[in-house]
Copies of this chain bind each other. A is one copy, B any other.
Amino acid sequence: MTEYDANKLKEFRSFLKKIKSYEEAVGLMYWDLRTGAPKKGVEMRSEVIGVLSGEAFRLSTSEQMADYLDYFSEPGRLAELGSIDQRIVTESKKDYERSKKIPPEKYEAYVVLTSQAESVWEEAKEAGDWDMFKPYLEKVVEVNLEFIELWGYEGHKYNTLLDMYEPGMTVEKLDQVFGALREKAVPLLSALQSSPDQPDTSFMHQQFDKEKQRQFSLFILGQMGYDFNAGRLDETVHPFATGLNPGDVRITTRFLPDDVNSALFGTIHEGGHALYEQNISTELNGTPLSTGTSMGIHESQSRFWENMIGRSKEFWSRYYGDLQKNYPGQFDDVSVEQFYRATNQVQPSLIRIEADELTYNLHIMVRYEIEKALFSGAAKVADLPELWNAKYKEYLGVEPANNGEGVLQDVHWSSGAFGYFPSYALGNIYAAQFMNTMKKELPNLDKLIAEGNLLPIKEWLTEKVYRHGKALNPGEIMLQVTGEELNPDYLVQYLEQKYKEIYRL
């Protein structure tokens, strides 16, 4: 046992809070850029963001950080720390080591490269011009391979990238989990497609007043327990949620004039992310643990609220009357059953972000297989369009007419975010596991939803997931809450049960 210096711990905490302060300021500047900052100020604002992010990075990789980490990582001392401080030290050390292994000039060059790649991608996507983007993507992949060598890896090289978004995730686990899911999802999809009883969705595409859409979005957020004293709803082209601190978690949505779904489910989705961030324990304020624990767990919350609550029969049995009142005359001839079925239409499409709950996972698997192949060396960037189209055919039965709606559709690769995509499908899997446990622990769950009594659900999730922030890692949370590791069976059961009923199979 080695006693630690309590003052030194205080100093370390305040040092970490300083880093977090820079990050919070940068977060607000990004929010502002996306919600209405005047365009002529953007250039200077980007420089300001650069200065503050650079300062946060400099502190994170400083001698001072190294000293604190050396001191507190000493096993005897680490053991003496409280569990939160222990986790702070190990998380900070992990980040520190990852950052330190990349020489600063290499990292700076990479930032320039990805920023160029992103603008080229935008143009290339618009024009459907793969050849324009290809050399940039080749370079981005090449640099990522270099980084993997510097960071080190166990097993598959891609594991190192997966771990950045989902700590502990590996190709070995994902192959098994995605394989099991795909094995059931692909036949389910073709069964649904061949059902003679397809939902009618025509009434979803009327003209919907924007202010009314906003009112209904605000109403549903309130029902979910989103705290408007700790957040706000704005409008952007691409909806997002951003947790600046647990008292300031903002969401945005998009109001399409001729589609009632987009704002409605987009808002619930971002609201799910926001509930997570708003309910992180204040004990973790100002520490690196005051954030969601992984992209996958975060996504499990947005998808839990969007799909498992927001697209459930019970939810609409309670809220359909409110929706009808909100759009007078527009849903008079639509029954709640028709509306519920329409919100759950399954249809293979080319575009990930428009995909339904079932096919979404298949879109992700296409990308996962490609990323895996890129980093094992089984595929080259040049092979991607062909690979993409073949996988879409295989998993979803559709083929893009051009690369703009194919291999060029997502921004992620241009920014070097390899390993991110699996989080989306992991979110669906985790969400179904949470739902399965919640049903046991809140035995009247269906009734609660049907009564619009959603707060016990938020409280359960707060207790089990939200409050822990990053103090527990995804594997620990799953084990602690559900008693199991990642397991795709619950999602498969959920999808089969729900969709066979909807499609009357």
Q: B-contacting residues of A (Cβ < 8 Å)?
A: 17-18, 21-22, 24-25, 28-29, 32, 36-45, 47-48, 51-52, 55, 227-232, 244-248, 250, 285-286
Q: 16 other contacts beyond A38-B228, A39-B247, with CB at 8 A cut-off?
A: A21-B47, A21-B51, A24-B45, A28-B29, A28-B32, A37-B248, A38-B250, A41-B230, A41-B244, A41-B245, A41-B248, A42-B247, A44-B245, A44-B285, A45-B245, A52-B52
Contacts of A227 in B (CB 8 A): 40
Given A44-B248, A45-B248, A285-B44; A52-B25 close (CB under 8 Å): yes
Residue contact A52 to B247, C-beta cutoff 8 Å: no
> Which of the residues B38, B232, B245 comes within 8 Å of A231, measured between beta carbons?
B38
Most chain B beta-carbon contacts within 10 A, residue among A36, A37, A41, A246 = A41
Residues of chain B within 8 A (CB-CB) of A24 are: 44-45, 48
Contact A40 B247 (CB under 8 A): yes
Q: Known contacts being A52-B25, A245-B45, is A40 close to B229, with CB within 8 Å?
A: yes
- Contact at B230–A38, with CB atoms within 8 Å? yes
A17 to B44, CA, bound (A): 10
A247 to B43, Cβ gap below 8 A? yes
Tell me whether B231 and A51 are in contact (CB under 8 A): no
Report how far A227 CA is from B250 CA in the complex, Å.
28
CA distance A231 to B38 in the complex (A): 5
Taken together as a complex, chains A and B put the C-alpha atoms of A24 and B28 apart, in Å, by 12
Instruction: Write the nearest CB–CB distance from A24 to chain B, whole angstroms.
Output: 5
A218 CB, min distance to chain B CBs, angstroms: 14
Q: Which residues of B contact A286 (CB under 8 A)?
A: 44, 47
Contact B230 A36 (CB under 8 A): no
A3 to chain B, nearest CB (A): 30
A192 and B198 CA atoms in complex are apart in Å by: 80
